[in-house]
């Protein structure tokens, strides 16, 4: 299995697929948000500069899209003081439990370090995955966790 992580802007033909993954994972059950695949695709299209946030990364396994992660300024309107965020980590079901998610998180951390960022925040309901990668719980709200990930 050949796994590489590249910037999504280097693979623009996959932008709609990635937007669909993010929509299905985080927004489909929240129609009140008003977000649609097209609006997510437009946001992803803004991630074109290696030297600034936002960054959108794409994992490819043997040339096939396998997952995505994003580095954004903020992902929680109630926690505007926490920034920046590792957001929208999605791994296609056929590639789960194969190291793709961990590789995406490592790559996002590496890009953050290159930008001079010391820590990232993220929201999750699966804190164990991120704990294994060095994250610690910053806040908890029921089954939802806000975590701090040192870069």
Over the stretch 34-66, which tens digit does the pLDDT of each residue have?
889 999 999 999 999 999 999 999 999 999 999
DSSP assignment of 84-139 equals -EEEEEEE-GGGTTTTHHHHHHHHHHHHHHHTT--EEEEEES-HHHHHHTT-EEEE
Instruction: Using alpha carbons only, give the angle 26, 86, 126 rounded to the nearest 5 degrees.
Output: 60
Sign of CA dihedral 35, 37, 42, 44: positive
What is the CATH class of 3-150?
Answer: alpha beta
Band (pLDDT 50/70/90 cuts) for residue 1 is: confident
Over the stretch 63-110, which tens digit does the pLDDT of each residue have?
999 999 999 999 988 899 999 999 999 999 999 999 999 999 999 999
Cis peptide before 31 (omega within 30 of 0): no
| Domain locations along the chain | 3-150
| Joined tokens for residue 127 | 């804190």
């Amino acid at each position: 299995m050949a796994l590489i992580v590249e910037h999504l802007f280097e693979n623009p033909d996959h932008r709609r697929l990635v937007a669909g993954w993010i929509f299905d994972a985080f927004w489909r059950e929240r129609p009140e948000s008003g977000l649609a695949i097209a609006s997510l695709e437009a946001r992803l299209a803004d991630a074109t500069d290696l030297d600034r946030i936002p960054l959108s990364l794409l994992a490819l396994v043997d040339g096939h899209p396998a997952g995505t992660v994003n580095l954004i300024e903020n992902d929680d309107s109630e926690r505007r003081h926490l920034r920046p965020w590792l957001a929208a980590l999605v791994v296609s079901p056929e590639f789960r439990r194969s190291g793709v998610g961990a590789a995406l998180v490592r790559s996002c951390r590496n890009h953050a370090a290159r930008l001079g960022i010391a820590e990232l925040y993220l929201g999750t309901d699966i804190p164990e995955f991120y704990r294994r990668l060095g994250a610690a719980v910053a806040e908890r709200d029921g089954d939802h966790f806000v975590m701090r990930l040192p870069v």
